[in-house]
Structure 1
Amino acid sequence: MSIPSSPDAAARYGVVARLLHWLMALGLIGMVVVGYVMKTLPLSPLKLQVYSWHKWIGISLLILVLLRLLWRLLHRPPALPASMSPAMRGLAHAGHAALYVLMAAIPFTGWLMSSAKGFQTVWFGILPLPDLVAKNKALGETLVQTHILLNYALITLVVLHVMAALKHHFIDGDGLLRRMTFANAKENA
């Protein structure tokens, strides 16, 4: 099976953009797994350690998404395929903007939640981060629910993002997916 290619496929994202994309993807998958595991564990030293790992990864992903946004502002992405309608282009841009907002908002709400619950975030057990709000049990519970809802929204949006990429690859054959991969740009028979 050959991989679809088109003139649009030549315009690829740079190596740094692709690395940041896939690091975020792996980090987000890891966070979903760690988040699920930590909620199922009984209260124990292991559960507290997993919560610490979750917070460390969350702050790391917040930094990574901020770096990714900075990179994106300084480096223009390749144009979308000419075959895309204006409505689809608008959806693509809105979807990407929503992904960035959620990728920043989720760790930020986690940090706020930890602060409101009275648990300081200490990045990798070394660097204590400032509490963003004073201890407030009611606010903490509201932030728990907000954090969970934002995660479900992100999971939904990521699934739609992957489905759109697969549609472009297998149905449209416009080379869009290939622009973000590390696959060789030449056709493979």
Structure 2
Amino acid sequence: MLFADIMETVKTWTAGHLPITVGGCVAALVLLFLVLNSARRRQGLDPSKLQTTGAHNALTGEKSLNWEPPEQSYADRRSATRREGQPVRVLLAAATFRNGAGDGYVIDRSTGGLKLATQSALPPGTLVQVRAVDAPDTIGFVTLVVRSCRKNGAQDYFELGCEFEQTPPWNVLLLFG
């Protein structure tokens, strides 16, 4: 058969079986998206994407990729399971910041709260509004209560242990990593 005859047969068949054709095309596009997304995730975190607003930030570059997770203690009193992962950049809003806003990274998360890495120390009991940088405009800030603040000895940042004032919906929790 000639190429033109084959194309005419394909055109006739697809016109007669339109739902199967459309479903097959959609399935192929979804499969292509999943393969490309999987390949992108395997490449890891790109340090050039961790940009901040400050002139010097110890959380960017090589230092942000060298954070070692703390050892889990058997005496851990958390009721929610802790999940670690790639640092997620967030915007912070608190009354104690000079201009009312700051930035940081989520380095540990659970359904009960977040552990944040920031350049500013905040006293326990402080209310902080947090929003993921990559969150859609329809998602607002989430309120956290600072429960602990400690300086990381090896690097110039503070680790804030924060508890959700109200546990946000699952789709908002996923934005924090």
For normalisation by structure 2, the TM-score amounts to 0.20
The structure with more strand, counted as a fraction of residues: 2
The structure with more helix, counted as a fraction of residues: 1
Computing the radius of gyration over CA atoms, which structure comes out larger, 1 or 2?
2
Which structure exhibits the higher relative contact order, with contacts defined as CA atoms closer than 8 Å and separated by 6 or more residues? 1
